[in-house]
Amino acid sequence: MRVKVAIDLALDRLFDYEVPVALQKKLAVGQLLSVPFGHREARGFAMAVTGAEVSVGPPPPHGDFKLKPVAAIVDETPFFSLPLLELVKRVAGYTSAPVESVLKAAVPAAVLKKNARPRELMFIEPALAALPVSVTKRQQWLYDQIVRLGGGWMSELCRELRTTPATIRELGLKGLVTVAVRARRRDPLGGRKVLPSKPLGLNDEQRAALTAVETGGKPVLLFGVTGSGKTEVYLQAIAGELAADRGAIVMVPEISLTPQTVQRFAARFGDRVAVLHSALSDGERYDEWHRIRSGAARVVVGPRSAVWAPVKNLGLIVVDEEHESSYKQEDTPRYHARDVAVLRGAIEGAKVVLGSATPSLESWMNVKKGKYALAELKRRAGAGTMPAVSLVEMTGGSIYSRELLEAVRIRLDRGEQTILLLNRRGYARSVECEGCGYVFECPECSLPYTYHRADSCLRCHVCGGWASGPSCCPKCRRRVLDFIGVGTQRAEAALAKCFPRARILRMDADSTSRKNSHDDILSAFRSGEADILLGTQMIAKGLDFPNVTLVGVLNADSSLRMAGSDFRAAERTFQLISQVAGRAGRAALPGEVIVQSRDVSVAVIRLAARGDYGAFAAEELKAREECFLPPHCHFAVIGMKSKNAAAVGEWAEMYAASLRQLGDVKVSGAMPCALEKADGWYRWQITLRSERASAICRAWRWISSVRPVPKGVRASLDMDAFNLV
Ligand code: ADP
Ligand code: ZN
């Protein structure tokens, strides 16, 4: 009997081992094994077992080569069920990632650490029948107290009864109590008391949505505005699964995985909820994961990695805010957790619900094609109305309009709070005319060119087309400028000048580089330590501030003008404006939203201000179709990097030229990334587009096997890429 083992070496191959007779009965696929590897012991997962009856099987494939035996089974309970292992393999194939890397992503490191184990502490229980022994008065009192409490953990009993472990052990020696080691759960909620909540009576739309989810068969896209009661639908769908003895996974973007979110699930399902997220200690993560695997916890709440949770008898997967780009993992394996959820649902026969107020165009098209069912929630379920949204056209170079400044002043007078948002992303620079605002675009793709200073070239990061840097505007003949937009610091300075006494907090990549400062800034704002919060995209998500009654977007169209390398710019802008509109006025106070834009006639800005997702999606899908962009195709990026500028360029050119001969994949020219150099690495990219992901996978496998990159150059494939810089 032989076993194929995946060892975490990123070699993308499995290793064969002989299974010793003593282990043959116990060994199972999905278990963690200990095996000899070179001169050391390694750990790996059993992927497949072959040749149960060795004597009649064919001779070993390597002639007289003798396989080494498995040293031990680390844990007899498999880490991966058969369906989960199937999912791992499919995701490895789809993302062109080594299967070990997917296995590694699927189990928390805290669980696999060699010294990871449950926390074991002394537990005291009163003995059943206390023997008639002579005790002191004090001992008798202690014994009575322990009986009254029904026992407890040593440290807590000592604190409560003001005594010492030695004293309690003496009671043990006299046979009055038993002292034994027990595993004590490291609880992420820290034993915090959560008030139980009861199911709410659903409104008609919610009831229809719940029925659609319960019907199953297809994934359901739950399209509902912020506050429309999607979470209540999730909760009741999960309750139904639990009643049928099935489990559930709830995925939320990391940024909205706040204690409030977790508590909503804990309030309904108590101890049956396990939480997995990056802020847990290793011990907490170890315990939560084991509670899931053992079946003690049936509902898992977590970020994208929760899609791999070993939930027994999985009945339902919820992906909340399914459009969020944080579901895409940006290093190997580059999976998209929403897509993995849909695949897992199909493999395990579990229902899947994807919730959003602004669905991704990928999911929306799946509804149009009949692959997903649609359920809509059009009204807010609880208190609060949708805020009034107004558009203000910006002229000249000012950052703030008179309308917005007046609205801020009113909030300052009333003691209410304001959020101001600067729509701005990283590195990409576009070129625009100072005079008429003309933006230089790729004629093929109608997307702003990205300006590369190094060789003053304009490049399209979709098709690889380029033009030499212009000296004047083709429309008005004036001088042109490379443009990266207004920075938060400048916006803050200008604001402070208008309102010298206002307390302003700024949040951007600079102010949040310290650990925790993100949370620090938000809690300072929440507790009223500032009047105005000014920041980039990162303040738009998942935040609920009861005293905020005004939200201003300073430059709504700016990412449309500058995101040369991002064909999702319009989609992201729509999401951003809808999100901030959903933020204001959720509590008792009515909200107002002011959206500033240099061009208010841009369709996405107008439609976002009106909240017309359907019209936006129709228009954007058409535009993407004309340029052969997702969701009408799969879009993958081959990224190459090297410390040697010449080598990476040559290799990228060669890859692009070779791949172009294949024919069934649309291949761009090789080009430097918008972010040309990072951490001392020179970066290049090639984009691949095809209706079939398998054609892209095949092309990648072919090129990386016939032309493996040399030492010093790294190449990777990002299937369905999100981050294009
Ligand atoms: P979403 O998840 O869509 O943003 P929530 O589930 O958070 O919306 O609901 C918003 C508010 O409406 C919450 O305070 C919730 O308690 C309340 N709510 C949800 N459903 C109902 C209902 N059927 N009746 C009354 N209030 C509801
Ligand atoms: Zn182009």
2-112: CATH class: alpha beta
Closest CA to 605 of 538, 540, 549, 559: 559
pLDDT at residue 725 in the model: 72
d(CA 111, CA 589): 46
Please list the residues that pair with 251 across neighbouring strands.
302, 319
Mean pLDDT of 144-148: 90
Give how far Cα 164 sits from Cα of 74, 155, 247, Å: 38, 9, 43
Taking the CB of residue 33, how many other CB atoms lie within 10 A of it?
A: 23
C-beta 229 within 6 A of ligand 1: yes
Mean pLDDT of 380-392: 81
From the CA of 462, the nearest ligand is: 2
C-beta 227 within 6 A of ligand 1: yes
Q: Are 506 and 421 in contact (CB under 8 A)?
A: no
Please state which of the ranges 189-193, 562-566, 630-634, 713-717 shows the lowest mean pLDDT. 562-566
d(CA 605, CA 573): 8
Show the DSSP H helices in 439-567 as ranges: 488-498, 517-526, 558-562
Instruction: Tell me which of 231, 260, 321 to substitute to probe ligand 1's pocket, judged by most ligand atoms within 8 Å of the beta carbon.
Output: 231
% of the chain with per-residue pLDDT over 90: 56
C-beta 356 within 6 A of ligand 1: no
Taking the CB of residue 618, how many other CB atoms lie within 10 A of it?
A: 14
C-beta 382 within 6 A of ligand 1: yes
Report the separation in Å between the CA atom of 55 and the middle of ligand 1, taken as the mean of its atom positions. 64
pLDDT at 516 over 90: no
From the CA of 222, the nearest ligand is: 1
From the CA of 202, the nearest ligand is: 1
pLDDT at 541 over 80: no
Report the separation in Å between the CA atom of 227 and the middle of ligand 1, taken as the mean of its atom positions. 6
C-beta 126 within 6 A of ligand 1: no
pLDDT at residue 136 in the model: 87
388-425+487-626: CATH class: alpha beta
C-beta 224 within 6 A of ligand 1: yes
Concatenated DSSP letters for 433-475? ETTT--B-B-TTT-SBPEEETTTTEEE-TTT--EEEPPSB-TT
From the CA of 225, the nearest ligand is: 1
Tokens encoding 167: 């004293």
d(CA 567, CA 221): 23
Nearest atom, ligand 1, residue 357 CA: 3
The yes-or-no answer to whether 204-377 and 388-425+487-626 have a common fold is yes
Nearest atom, ligand 1, residue 203 CA: 23
Tens of pLDDT, residues 404-430: 999 999 999 999 999 998 876 545 567
Q: Which fold has domain 634-719?
A: Alpha-Beta Plaits (3.30.70)
pLDDT at residue 664 in the model: 87
Show me where the domains of the chain are located.
Answer: 2-112, 120-183, 204-377, 388-425+487-626, 430-484, 634-719
Cα atoms in the Cβ-side hemisphere of radius 13 Å centred on 602: 27
Please state which of the ranges 185-189, 211-215, 347-351, 528-532 shows the lowest mean pLDDT. 185-189
C-beta 381 within 6 A of ligand 1: yes
Q: Identify the residue with better confidence: 389 or 508.
A: 389
d(CA 616, CA 624): 12
Taking the CB of residue 83, how many other CB atoms lie within 10 A of it?
A: 14
pLDDT at residue 480 in the model: 64
pLDDT at residue 16 in the model: 94
C-beta 579 within 6 A of ligand 1: no
pLDDT at 55 over 50: no
C-beta 203 within 6 A of ligand 1: yes
Q: Are 640 and 687 in contact (CB under 8 A)?
A: no
Report the separation in Å between the CA atom of 230 and the middle of ligand 1, taken as the mean of its atom positions. 7
Closest CA to 554 of 698, 398, 372, 349: 398
From the CA of 224, the nearest ligand is: 1
d(CA 168, CA 140): 11
C-beta 279 within 6 A of ligand 1: no
Where does the pLDDT of residue 385 fall: very low under 50, low under 70, confident under 90, or very high at 90 and above? Answer: confident
C-beta 586 within 6 A of ligand 1: no
Nearest atom, ligand 1, residue 225 CA: 3
Instruction: Specify the residue with its C-alpha closest to ligand 1, atom 12.
Output: 382
Nearest atom, ligand 1, residue 582 CA: 4
CATH of domain 204-377: 3.40.50.300
Please state which of the ranges 34-38, 168-172, 588-592 shows the lowest mean pLDDT. 588-592
Please give the sequence-ordered ranges of beta strands (E in DSSP) within 525-633, or none if there are none. Answer: 532-535, 548-553, 592-597
Closest CA to 319 of 223, 396, 404, 236: 223
pLDDT at residue 56 in the model: 47
C-beta 78 within 6 A of ligand 1: no
Average pLDDT, the chain: 87
Mean pLDDT of 189-215: 90
Residue type, 631: P
Instruction: Tell me which of 213, 232, 263 to substitute to probe ligand 1's pocket, judged by most ligand atoms within 8 Å of the beta carbon.
Output: 232
Report the separation in Å between the CA atom of 449 and the middle of ligand 2, taken as the mean of its atom positions. 8
Where does the pLDDT of residue 273 fall: very low under 50, low under 70, confident under 90, or very high at 90 and above? Answer: very high
Ranked by mean pLDDT, the top range of 57-61, 245-249, 375-379, 580-584 is 245-249
Please give the sequence-ordered ranges of beta strands (E in DSSP) within 219-360, or none if there are none. Answer: 220-224, 247-251, 273-275, 299-302, 314-319, 351-356
DSSP conformation class of 318: E
Q: Identify the residue with better confidence: 564 or 316.
A: 316
Nearest atom, ligand 1, residue 228 CA: 3
pLDDT at 17 over 60: yes
C-beta 383 within 6 A of ligand 1: no
Closest CA to 723 of 167, 264, 289, 336: 336
From the CA of 687, the nearest ligand is: 2
Instruction: Specify the residue with its C-alpha closest to ligand 1, atom 10.
Output: 227
Q: Are 147 and 86 in contact (CB under 8 A)?
A: no
Mean pLDDT of 379-388: 77
Q: Are 399 and 486 in contact (CB under 8 A)?
A: yes
Taking the CB of residue 400, how many other CB atoms lie within 10 A of it?
A: 20
Give how far Cα 304 sits from Cα of 252, 338, 518, 607, Å: 7, 8, 20, 30
In the three-class reduction of DSSP (H, G, I as helix; E, B as strand; rest coil), residue 675 is classed as: strand
